[in-house]
Amino acid sequence: MADDGARVDRRRLRVDLAGQVALVTGASQGLGRSIAEALAANGAAVALVARSVDKLAEVAGAIRAAGGTAEEFPCDVAKGEEIQRVVEAVVAKLGRLDILVNNAGVTRDNLCPRMSDDEWDQVLTTNLRAPFLFIRAASRPMMQQRYGRIINVASISGLIGNAGQANYSASKAGLVGLTKTVAKELAGRKVTVNAVAPGFIASDMTAALGPALDDVVKARVPAKRLGEAWEIAEAVLFLASPSSGYVTAQTLVVDGGLIG
């Protein structure tokens, strides 16, 4: 993973989020961390949500050291009873809630004939049920203040499918459907709901795949490279900004041209 300086140097998009509060799930690492850092760098106070207290503290410390505002809210998003509590705690501590980024997700890959009930349930619970519960809880303060931005991190797997990921692809396809439906319900209250669908993104997981992934990328991705976490963060940043007020019910695909 690139160091903090490298991430900051690569960013080009600048928006004004001063006075706004953003909640990011899965914020302790990877895409979630990059998204949280981008929102904080543009003026938002960021509520960091994830299971690991230690990792959340590390991310919050890095954001504060860079001059931003961040608070940690430990939560296991697979435990639905915790989600309403966390949203209420964010509003109580930070005063409002303007931006929700549903990023937390898990994989439990297996071919469909071999997939266990537990593998299916774990993925659907974290990747689809939890975003629904966060949206339900967050939409209430957003509707009251007549402003909000909800961004769901989906995947191209939810648009085209992927062998060995029936659970993951179904959860991300469901997230796209949830996005479109809730966008129609909340548009009249000036709350937008959109999704970002990443393609192959550089991460610790993709790094472990080694040269085999390079061959796949060169053969299938017109851009001939993996995407970077900061590129997904900036797509989220645009959808979280005041400038995106007439963009809703959309899925922004960020995949280097993979699915066209």
| pLDDT tens string 88-138 | 999 999 999 999 999 999 999 999 999 999 999 999 999 999 999 999 999
Distance CA 22, CA 97 (A): 6
What's the start-to-end Cα distance of the chain, in Å?
Answer: 28
Spot the catalytic one: 168, 186, 195, 253. Answer: 168
pLDDT at 85 over 80: yes
DSSP assignments along 71-96, one per residue: EEEE--TTSHHHHHHHHHHHHHHHS-
Q: Which residue has the tokens 């991430």?
A: 7
CB 101 within 8 A of CB 149: no
- Read off the pLDDT band of 10 (50, 70, 90): low
- Read off the pLDDT band of 5 (50, 70, 90): very low
Prediction pTM value = 0.94
What domains are there in the chain, each with its CATH number? 4-200+229-254 (3.40.50.720)
Pick from 153, 188, 179, 180: nearest CA to 168:
153
CB 43 within 8 A of CB 19: yes
Report the phi/psi class of residue 238: left, alpha or beta, with left for phi > 0 and alpha for psi in -120 to 50. alpha
Cβ neighbours, 10 Å, residue 78 = 17
Per-residue pLDDT tens for 145-178?
Answer: 999 999 999 999 999 999 999 999 999 999 999 9
Report which residue type is found at 78.
A
- Please tell me what DSSP assigns to residue 18: T
Is 147 tagged catalytic?
A: no
Residue 174 is encoded by which pair of tokens? 């469901």
CB 23 within 8 A of CB 90: yes
Per-residue pLDDT tens for 225-249?
Answer: 999 999 999 999 999 999 999 999 9
| pLDDT score of 11 | 62
Q: Do you know the residue count of the chain?
A: 260
Distance CA 7, CA 178 (A): 31
DSSP assignments along 49-65, one per residue: EES-HHHHHHHHHHHHH
Distance CA 169, CA 202 (A): 19
